[in-house]
């Protein structure tokens, strides 16, 4: 990339420049104002902010900095694998394989010690096996519900999503953050009442 | 917003929905691939990721989770105040006033205790008076240099930015993160060599 930099710094900058591509990965749901679809980089920021605000709802002791790290790296694999929404049945069948290949390539751009740390964060998020991963998974699941509810349900109408679909999608919060389940229920109830689901 | 939610939750969701608007605030610099201008939400994600990767360059003991919180909230005020690039002399004259008014409005959407915490993080970032704030300020300053260098300098050409401009802009890293100064120097040297500055 440039002269005058040691190998460690070059590797760090190469990773950070490659990460910029996450800003071009489009997710299914729109922004709240409906002006365009959301990208995965700004979504990652949004769920980290949600973790900051909603961490108090975790029923476990959470290292918040650790949870934020998981939120920041959880979707980097979409640079190669793209976003795979729940209704993409074909895509879901190969999602794990595609995302693992992406993780193998992307985190290896970092210096070896950091590659191991970042890859470990991604594996941890996927496994949902720690309090921090459960909080990060919970806000990642809650975010589209909050955004689509605030938007008035454009995506739900477009994709023919039903109340049962959205409830099933968020049933996982029972295990990850039971104190957020009433929030899911209230948002879905309201969307049904308004005819958005 | 919805029935079935207590006041605290309503306030938290109102803040998180309002925060979505940061995705529509455009900054001056393009994405690395030049396809469009960057927005402030994805920029905030990018600098938090930079803090994760580059925290080891701080010469101070840094609470990384705290630094990430500062990165995530540092530009929320741009929802009301917009981005004010360094060459916007008129805008710079009123920046502090406009951003303070924005902070007064935006953080007050949160429950009072969280409003105080989040506002405190924003004040802390602005004052650069803690190790965490200095790291966050350093990556916030470094990010446009990394992105514009990787992009090949489109913005620098468009705005007629000179080597002296960019060096002056990043001179602040001497105080915030002296170990990142050689990174700035190498990127600027390389941009000059390639005729981008």
Per-residue pLDDT for chain A (197 aa), expressed as one digit of tens each?
A: 577 899 999 999 999 999 999 999 999 999 999 999 999 999 999 999 999 999 999 989 999 999 999 999 999 999 999 999 999 999 999 999 999 999 999 999 999 999 999 999 999 999 999 999 999 999 999 999 999 999 999 999 999 999 999 999 999 999 999 999 999 999 999 999 999 99
Q: For residue A162, what pLDDT is reported?
A: 97
Whether the Cβ atoms of residue B55 and residue B47 lie closer than 8 Å to each other: no
Nearest-by-Cβ selection for B16 from A17, A24, A50: A50
Mutation target to probe the A interface, by most A beta carbons within 10 A, among B53, B55, B67 is B53
Closest B-chain CA to A194 = B2
Question: What separation, in Å, do the N-terminal and C-terminal C-alpha atoms of chain B show?
Answer: 50
**Using the beta-carbon criterion (under 8 Å), do A24 and B39 form an inter-chain contact?**
no
Q: For residue A1, what pLDDT is reported?
A: 59
Q: What is the mean pLDDT of residues B13-35?
A: 98
**What token pair was written down for A43?**
């979504």
B109-118 contacts, C-beta under 8 A, 24 or more apart: B109/B11, B109/B14, B109/B15, B109/B18, B110/A53, B110/B11, B110/B12, B110/B15, B111/B7, B111/B8, B111/B11, B111/B12, B114/A53, B114/B12, B118/A52, B118/B73
Handedness of CA B13, B18, B19, B21 (dihedral sign): positive
Q: Identify all chain B residues contacting A64, using CB atoms and an 8 Å cutoff.
A: 65, 69
Q: Identify all chain A residues contacting B2, using CB atoms and an 8 Å cutoff.
A: 149, 186-187, 189-190
**Using the beta-carbon criterion (under 8 Å), do B68 and A65 form an inter-chain contact?**
yes
- If you write DSSP's letter for every residue of A139-164 in order, what string do you get? HHHHHHHHHHHHHTSHHHHHHT--HH
Q: Chain B within 8 Å of A179 (Cβ-Cβ)? A: no
Three-state SS for B5?
coil
Nearest-by-Cβ selection for A72 from B52, B63, B146: B52
Q: What is the nearest CA distance from A41 to chain B, expressed in angstroms?
A: 5
Please, which residues have CB within 8 angstroms of residue A8's CB and are 6 or more apart in sequence? A111
Nearest-by-Cβ selection for A24 from B23, B35, B48: B35
Residue A99: Cβ within 10 Å count: 20
Q: Chain A within 8 Å of B148 (Cβ-Cβ)? A: no
Check: pTM over 0.95? Answer yes or no: yes
Across-strand partners of B30? Answer: B37
**Using the beta-carbon criterion (under 8 Å), do B35 and A45 form an inter-chain contact?**
no
List pLDDT tens digits, range B32-90.
Answer: 999 999 999 999 999 999 999 999 999 899 999 999 999 999 999 999 999 999 999 99
**What token pair was written down for A49?**
């902010």
């Amino acid at each position: 990339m440039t002269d005058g930099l040691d190998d460690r710094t070059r590797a760090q900058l190469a990773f950070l420049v490659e990460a910029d591509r996450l800003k071009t990965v489009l997710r299914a749901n729109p922004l709240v104002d409906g002006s365009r679809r959301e990208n995965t980089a700004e979504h990652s920021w949004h769920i980290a902010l949600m973790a900051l605000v909603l961490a108090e709802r975790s029923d476990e002791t959470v290292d918040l900095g650790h949870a934020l790290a998981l939120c920041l790296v959880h979707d980097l694999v979409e640079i190669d694998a793209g976003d795979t929404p729940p209704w993409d049945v074909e895509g879901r069948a190969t999602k794990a394989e595609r995302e693992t290949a992406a993780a193998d390539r992307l985190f290896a751009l970092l210096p070896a010690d950091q590659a191991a740390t970042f890859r470990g964060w991604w594996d941890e998020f996927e496994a949902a096996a720690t309090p921090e991963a459960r909080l990060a998974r919970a806000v990642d699941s809650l975010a589209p519900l909050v955004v689509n509810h605030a938007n008035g349900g454009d995506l739900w109408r477009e994709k023919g999503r039903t109340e049962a679909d959205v409830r099933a999608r968020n049933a996982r919060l029972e295990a990850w953050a039971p104190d957020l389940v009433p929030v899911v229920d209230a948002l879905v109830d309201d969307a049904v009442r308004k005819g958005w689901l």
